[in-house]
Amino acid sequence: MLKRDIWNRLIEWKQRDHHPLIVRGLRQTGKTFIVRQFGRECYQNTVYIDLRANKSVHSAFVGDFDVDRMVMSITAAIPSATFVPGNTLIILDEIQDCPDARSSLKYWDIDGRYDVIATGSFLGVKGFRGPYVRGIPVGYEEQMTMYPLSFNEFLDNLNIKPEVKHYVDTSIKNLTSIEKTVHESLRSLFLQYLIVGGMPEAVNVFIRNHDLNAVRNTQRMILNSIRDDFGRCKDASGNDKINEVLKLRAEACLDSIPSQLSQEYKKFKYSLVNAKGHSPEKAEGLQYLEDVGLVIRAYNTSEIACPLEGVKIPNEFKVFFIDTGLLLSQLGADIPQKILSGDVSSYKGAIAENMVASCFAIRERELYYYHAPSGSPELDFLYERNGDVVIVECKATNNRATSMKYVIAHPGKYGTHQAIKFSDTNIGSGDGFETYPLYGMWFVDEDNKSCVIPDVDLSGISI
């Protein structure tokens, strides 16, 4: 079993007062496996219901939502199911396939005798957003998103000692150089992670035999499996169907991404998508890829200012893979060897840039960048921290961050901002920005300020 950070979040969820939980995310990121293992280790009893494969159990959620009636119907449809009040986890797998099961979460929550975790790979995808005739239980459910393994999780599963990660974390906090042996070892592991990515099956293959050809074959099988479901939706009667036109547009958008990322300016262009239809029709295919969790967008902004969402340009964006390993599986067969030798500059730096995008997305940061109308300056990424914009440049080598230096040198035009450069080097600073190794993107601190509003003393207020 791979070590996953979400495990601790599931434990924390169980130990506090909680609502039914929905774990969502891209197919084959390990959602079903982790929640079933969680049920086995943390509950006396687990009732697993595959709502995609077992249509007969859907009837349990038709009619009133009386919990005892639903339990009776489930045990009739699944004779092995046993419900123990106070120590049973109900797993509703692929819950998007049964809207009434989603609506029932409110009543399991109110009843309180059983814990419920639902999983879904198509929640929010057009064709699965409804019909929730009986409503989505707002205020009665919680959500977590499961992503491919992060680099930190990759290190955990290679049994890298926590002390090493703590040392790197401390070095980054103090802006002190990382000892050469540690730096070179982590750099080598990061290059391996670039190739392998974070899809659990690919990571397992790598851990077993370190055969990168086998990893590549696994990645392609994973991507083909995801492709098989492209266009999947529900008709008006709630039956499964494939929207063939949507499927073709989604496939064409996906196939165009590697070549679009190889451009000097990586803005996504619908004109480069080999599918019939105008941009609005092709946009449906791209939206599908985003809805299933396979790709992420980074939006250009009209200026470098908070809030970034308020200055984003909606029709100008780059598109990245959520998993860099899946991107590499679509590139030339010589790419893994180049990366292992330390060359991550192929495709005009798109590989390293995709990794930064993936890192930010897994940390649930919205993605933005700045590309001036004239084409210069161009900043790879922007994000908000403590009410200000942080500028991020990613260099596949230790190239000069010309655009970032220009922006820093002109505060009257662009404002004053913290700036970070990730490149193939050690930790350092100077010229108004901090420099970290490429693997450092997984260690640079998140904004950990408390989101809890402190109590206010109202004793002096009279009415």
Q: What are phi and psi of 125, to 5 degrees?
A: -75, 140
What is the Cα–Cα distance from 233 to 129, expressed in whole angstroms? Answer: 10
CA dist 350 and 324 (Å) reads 10
Helix and strand counts by DSSP (H, E) for the chain = 17, 15
> How far apart, in whole angstroms, are the C-alpha atoms of residue 331 and residue 304?
33
- Mind listing the pLDDT tens digit of every residue in the chain (463 residues)? 899 999 999 999 999 999 999 999 999 999 999 999 999 999 999 999 999 999 999 999 998 999 999 999 999 999 999 999 999 999 999 999 998 999 999 999 999 999 999 999 988 776 665 555 555 667 899 999 999 999 999 999 999 999 999 999 999 999 999 999 999 999 999 999 999 999 999 999 999 999 999 999 999 999 999 999 998 877 766 677 889 999 999 999 999 999 999 999 999 999 999 999 999 999 999 999 999 999 999 999 999 999 999 999 999 999 999 999 999 999 988 999 999 998 888 777 899 999 999 999 999 999 999 999 999 999 999 999 988 999 999 987 777 789 999 999 999 999 999 999 999 999 998 789 999 999 999 998 654 333 333 333 334 433 3
For residues 204 and 87, give the distance between their C-alpha atoms in angstroms, rounded to a whole number.
Answer: 32
What is the rounded distance in angstroms from the CA atom of residue 148 to the CA atom of residue 201?
A: 10
Q: Is 325 helix (H, G, I), strand (E, B) or coil?
A: helix
Fold adopted by 6-145: Rossmann fold (3.40.50)
- Beta strand pairing call for 367-371 and 312-321: unpaired
Cα distance between residue 195 and residue 214, in whole Å? 12
What is the residue whose two structure tokens read 């959500």?
143
389-to-44, 296, 307, 381, 440 alpha-carbon distances in Å: 48, 20, 8, 10, 19
Are 299 and 368 within 8 A, CB to CB? Answer: yes
Q: What is the CA radius of gyration of the chain?
A: 24
Kindly list the domain boundaries of the chain, sorted by start residue. Answer: 6-145, 151-229+292-442
Those residues whose C-beta lies under 8 Å from the C-beta of residue 76, and which sit 6 or more positions away, are none
Query: Coil, strand or helix: which one is 358?
Result: helix
